[in-house]
Amino acid sequence: MNPTENQGSITRDIIVYVVILIIAGLQFVIAYQHIDGEQMFARMFLLALLEAGLAVMFFMHLWSESRRLLMFVAVFMLFVLATMNYLWPDSFRILVGAPFSSYH
Amino acid sequence: MNQANIAMGAHPTGHSTALSEGSPFSIPTKKLVMWLFIISDAMTFAACLVAYGFLRNATPNWPRPFEFSPTVINAMVMTFVLITSSLTMLFAVRAAKLGDKSSAFKWILITAAGGLLFAILHIREWLGMIGEGATLFHNPWGTAIFGASFYSITGLHLLHVTGGVIALIAVGLRYKGGRYNADDVEILGLYWHFVDVVWMFVVPFVYLLNVAPTH
């Protein structure tokens, strides 16, 4: 790695670091907005995904790795994360008092 | 070397054909193993967070006890410390790749110090909450599940941070001593960044969604 390339990488890393800090700060701002729970969750989740994406791509250098590795990591993780969320409707069932739920 | 052995996969020179294959995804095997570990650990944390979200959504009397001072301020400081430690880890990896052992070791120790500071702040926060009466199975604000879910998720993350700090010191010393190389430092860096990525989800879901309402 030549010095110029090295300095450019340091600059990029610092820029990504500052952007991640700004996004984290935005999450703290959103926490004190007077919006309903669903909106707050959605905004926080999107910002967290953005933060994590930047960290995985640039801090963990997944962006500069082989595209096959990127696809391997992304596809497996996103598939499993998506299937984990199939049970959300059940939490609403418990909340609103469907038969055999414990709160009603 | 007879034809039967070659048919079974042995190379005419006597080596297995498996040894002549390229590394998968063009990365060293140990790096791929770290990625596989990261994927599996991400599933663990995701399962914990989804379960927490399910319980929170399904529980009418879920408390929102976190005041701006000291809890949210503490969370801000912890977030800043952990993200900054990721940056210092990047510096360590870069120095290691350039062959600058003393600089790489220095940045590894700084990263470990960041992790240690994070752990101290976290334990201090826990002690404060326990002092207010919030334990694993009881709290003065609402459902008992709140304490169990909070301590289990943050505790699992703290365990990863603690393990990471120990690994940083061990790998740093061995790298300085010449037993490990720059690739090993980079692989440890992957783990440390992963710990940071998990915190990026723990903070909004466990802390910020439970901030005490302001009127």
Beta bridge partners of B16: B10
Query: From the list A48, A65, A81, which residue is nearest B200 (CB)?
Result: A48
pLDDT cut 90: percent of chain B above it:
67
pLDDT for residue B128 is more than 90? yes
Output the average pLDDT for chain B: 88
Query: From the list A1, A32, A91, which residue is nearest B57 (CB)?
Result: A91
B69 vs B115, higher pLDDT: B115
What is the structure's pLDDT at B20? 55
Helix (H, G, I), strand (E, B) or coil at A70: helix
Distance (Å) of CA B45 to CA A44, B42, B170, B202, B211: 17, 5, 25, 9, 22
Mean pLDDT of B152-156: 96
Determine whether the interchain pair A60/B193 forms a contact, defined as Cβ–Cβ distance below 8 Å. Answer: yes
Which residues of chain B have a CB within 8 Å of the CB of A19?
Answer: none
Q: Domains in chain B and their CATH numbers?
A: 27-210 (1.20.120.80)
Per-residue pLDDT band at B28 (split at 50, 70, 90): confident
Two structure tokens written together for A76: 């497996």
Determine whether the interchain pair B79/A24 forms a contact, defined as Cβ–Cβ distance below 8 Å. Answer: yes
Say how far apart CA A8 and CA A1 lie, in whole Å: 11
What is the structure's pLDDT at B144? 87
What is the structure's pLDDT at B215? 64
Query: From the list B57, B86, B214, which residue is nearest A55 (CB)?
Result: B86
For residue A1, give the amino acid letter: M
pLDDT for residue B140 is more than 60? yes
Say how far apart CA A32 and CA B211 lie, in whole Å: 8
Instruction: Identify the residue whose tokens are 């709160």.
Output: A103
**C-alpha B123, offset from chain centre:** 17
Beta bridge partners of B10: B16
Cβ contacts below 8 Å, chain A against chain B, sum to 121
Helix (H, G, I), strand (E, B) or coil at B35: helix
Q: Tally DSSP H helices, then E strands, for chain A.
A: 4, 0
Q: Are B195 and B161 in contact (CB under 8 A)?
A: yes
Say how far apart CA B144 and CA B139 lie, in whole Å: 6
pLDDT for residue B17 is more than 60? no
Which residues of chain A have a CB within 8 Å of the CB of B45?
Answer: none
Q: Are A21 and B80 in contact (CB under 8 A)?
A: yes
Distance (Å) of CA B18 to CA A66, A69, B12, B15, B28: 21, 20, 13, 8, 15
Q: Which of A3, A63, A9 is nearest to B98 (CA)?
A: A3
Determine whether the interchain pair B201/A48 forms a contact, defined as Cβ–Cβ distance below 8 Å. Answer: yes
**pLDDT tens column, B170-205:** 999 999 999 999 999 999 999 999 999 999 999 999
pLDDT for residue B3 is more than 80? no
Q: Give the predicted TM-score (pTM) of the model.
A: 0.85
Distance (Å) of CA B178 to CA B48, B66, B185: 39, 47, 12
Among A7, A28, A38, A72, most B C-beta atoms within 10 A, so best to mutate, is A28
What are the 10-residue block averages of pLDDT along chain A, 104 residues in total? 57 94 95 88 92 92 85 82 71 64 50
Among A2, A6, A60, A65, most B C-beta atoms within 10 A, so best to mutate, is A60
What is the structure's pLDDT at B83? 97
- Cα atoms in the 13 Å half-sphere on the side-chain side of A75: 6
Two structure tokens written together for B207: 């802390």
Mean pLDDT of B21-31: 79
Residues 6+ apart with CB under 8 A from A84: B46, B47, B50
Query: From the list A6, A20, A88, which residue is nearest B94 (CB)?
Result: A6
Which residues of chain B have a CB within 8 Å of the CB of A27?
Answer: 203-204, 208
Per-residue pLDDT band at B88 (split at 50, 70, 90): very high
Instruction: Identify the residue whose tokens are 């700084």.
Output: B110
Mean pLDDT of B51-63: 86
Q: Are B203 and B79 in contact (CB under 8 A)?
A: yes
B139 vs B79, higher pLDDT: B79
Per-residue pLDDT band at B8 (split at 50, 70, 90): very low
Q: Which residue of A has its CA nearest to B92?
A: A10
